[in-house]
């Protein structure tokens, strides 16, 4: 029987093809209650901060920990929802903290775009964030 050999590197065209198969994920942090309400409604309109600003605040993977520390310190009732960025019709990248580009979605987030939902605990001052 022939065994398939795995290559440890890809050419540029193969890497581009592979990356097009893997969704780019953006994240929303909210309370478990807010998420339950979204599931009942079939879409997520955001929380009061999102409503005030006119868009749903999101983060990329590298921004999640900073967002937890800045806006959710000490909260234990949170979920981290991953959304397929390509499935979000009104996603824009705009400057926010320290001029860093953050994903913002204008309008409701469709539940069909959900990639993952995980409980997460925000750190108290000086602690690292942890998925529950």
Structure pTM? Answer: 0.78
The pLDDT of 12-39, averaged and rounded, is: 77
Confidence of residue 123 (pLDDT cuts 50, 70, 90): confident
Closest CA to 66 of 27, 25, 35, 93: 27
Which position has the higher pLDDT, 20 or 76? Answer: 76
Asked if pLDDT for residue 8 goes beyond 50, the answer is no
24-131 topology per CATH: ADP-ribosylation fold (3.20.170)
pLDDT at 21: 54
User: 6 is written with which tokens?
Assistant: 């795995």
Report the chain's mean pLDDT, rounded to a whole number: 83
pLDDT at 89: 87
The pLDDT of 98-126, averaged and rounded, is: 91
Confidence of residue 10 (pLDDT cuts 50, 70, 90): very low
pLDDT at 5: 40
What's the Cα-to-Cα distance from 91 to each of 12, 15, 37, 45, 111, rounded to whole Å? Answer: 27, 25, 22, 14, 15
The pLDDT of 88-97, averaged and rounded, is: 92
Which position has the higher pLDDT, 7 or 66? Answer: 66
């Amino acid at each position: 029987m022939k065994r398939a050999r795995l290559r440890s590197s890809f050419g540029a065209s193969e890497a581009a093809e592979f990356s097009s198969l893997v969704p780019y994920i953006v994240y929303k942090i909210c309370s478990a209650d807010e998420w339950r309400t979204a599931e009942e409604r079939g879409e997520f309109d955001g929380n009061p901060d999102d409503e005030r600003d006119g868009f749903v605040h999101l983060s990329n993977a590298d921004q999640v920990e900073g967002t937890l520390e800045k806006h959710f310190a000490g909260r234990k009732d949170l979920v981290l929802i991953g959304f397929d960025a390509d499935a979000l019709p009104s996603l824009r990248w705009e400057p926010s903290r320290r001029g860093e580009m953050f994903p913002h979605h204008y309008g409701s987030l469709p539940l069909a775009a959900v990639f993952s939902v995980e409980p997460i605990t925000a750190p108290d001052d000086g602690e690292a964030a942890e998925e529950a």
